[in-house]
Amino acid sequence: MISSESEYKEAVARAAEARRRTTERRARLKEAGLADDEIKRVLEPAESFHLQLEEEVAEYERVKRR
């Protein structure tokens, strides 16, 4: 759970970096000839972490607006 502005900024940066890494990794796996279902299976843990981080950022933004 994000509880401060500095944690929020760090989480936003980490989310952007995770998004970039996932996109690059997806492209490399595609170039290596993996099928879409194989790519999904490989990237699922990283994407799950990324989604959780984005949900925490969104929740902090909602709380901050109130």
Q: How confident is the model at residue 66 (pLDDT cuts 50, 70, 90)?
A: confident
Predicted model pTM: 0.80
Q: How confident is the model at residue 10 (pLDDT cuts 50, 70, 90)?
A: very high
For 58, the domain range is: 5-65
Residue with token string 């999904």: 40
Domain total for the chain? 1
Separation CA 32–CA 52 (nearest Å): 28
Separation CA 21–CA 7 (nearest Å): 21
pLDDT reported for residue 1: 87
Tens digits of per-residue pLDDT, 11-49?
999 999 999 999 999 999 999 999 999 999 999 999 999
